[in-house]
């Protein structure tokens, strides 16, 4: 049997995650049956579960992938940019559904919460490091502790997620995000 290249395995894994993101967003965790995952990914259950032990491992990998992508944006452009991206892209809708399902599972499933806790630190660490860099560059207000600013921005993100989950209008939120960004900046500073 011929060996499969790592590039092929990575591409297949991304294909599964992309399809699963849509499926979990549309149907929730429980509603994302194996049959629906097969349809969303275009792959058989054998192919899906060759890469992921079970549905929970797939969902955790998806949530971790989203968190890593968000942490990358945070490191380069700040947490407010993650919020702007959520408002402006079609991917935001799929990410939102996955994020809401993640929040629900964290609230209702202690074992899942424990497994997720070790994976979820990336976004907080990236936000904190970005804020420290901005403070060192003189762009961030210095009268509030970075830990407090980190918690503030994360709470705003969660509020935005809740706002969107309720189906409230999103087209007028850019000025709100401008205000959030201005609230953590030193006058004349850079992006948060």
| pLDDT one-digit tens code per residue, 125-159 | 889 999 999 999 999 999 999 999 999 999 999 89
In a domain, 33, yes or no: no
pLDDT of residue 168: 83
pLDDT of residue 35: 96
CATH code, 147: 1.10.357.10
Asked if 17 and 98 count as a contact pair (C-beta separation under 8 A), the reply is no
In a domain, 163, yes or no: yes
* Separation between Cα atoms, residue 152 and residue 4, nearest integer Å: 46
* Separation between Cα atoms, residue 182 and residue 192, nearest integer Å: 8
Q: What angle do CA 33, 35, 21 make, to 5 degrees?
A: 60
pLDDT of residue 190: 54
pLDDT of residue 144: 95
In a domain, 23, yes or no: no
Residue 67: phi and psi, rounded to 5, are -65, -40
In a domain, 48, yes or no: no
In a domain, 42, yes or no: no
Tell me how crowded residue 134 is: count the other CB atoms within 10 A of its CB: 22
Show contacts of 55-60: CB within 8 Å, 24+ apart.
55/29, 56/112, 56/115, 58/16, 58/17, 58/20, 59/20, 59/24, 59/29, 59/32, 59/101, 59/102, 59/105, 60/112, 60/115, 60/116, 60/119
In a domain, 141, yes or no: yes
pLDDT of residue 112: 82
pTM for the predicted model, two decimal places: 0.77
In a domain, 9, yes or no: no
Domain ranges, residue 60: 54-184
In a domain, 70, yes or no: yes
Task: Identify the segments of the chain with pLDDT beneath 70.
Answer: 1-2, 89-95, 118, 188-192
pLDDT of residue 191: 60
pLDDT of residue 2: 61
* Total number of domains constituting the chain: 1
């Amino acid at each position: 049997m011929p060996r499969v290249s790592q590039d092929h395995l990575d591409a297949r894994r991304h294909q599964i995650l992309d399809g699963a993101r849509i499926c979990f967003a549309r149907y929730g965790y429980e509603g994302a049956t194996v049959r629906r995952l097969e349809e969303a990914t275009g792959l058989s259950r054998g192919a899906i579960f060759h890469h992921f032990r079970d549905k929970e491992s797939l969902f955790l990998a998806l949530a971790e992938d989203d968190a890593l992508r968000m942490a990358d944006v945070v490191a380069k452009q700040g947490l407010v940019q993650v919020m702007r991206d959520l408002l402006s892209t079609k991917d935001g809708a799929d990410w939102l559904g996955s994020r809401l399902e993640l929040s629900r599972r964290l609230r209702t499933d202690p074992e899942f919460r424990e497994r997720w806790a070790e994976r979820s630190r990336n976004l907080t660490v990236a936000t904190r490091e970005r804020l420290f860099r901005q403070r060192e560059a003189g762009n961030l207000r210095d009268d509030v502790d970075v830990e407090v600013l980190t918690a503030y921005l994360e709470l705003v993100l969660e509020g935005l997620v809740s706002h969107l989950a309720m189906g409230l209008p999103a087209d007028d939120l850019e000025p709100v995000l401008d205000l959030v960004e201005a609230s953590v900046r030193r006058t004349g500073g850079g992006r948060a």
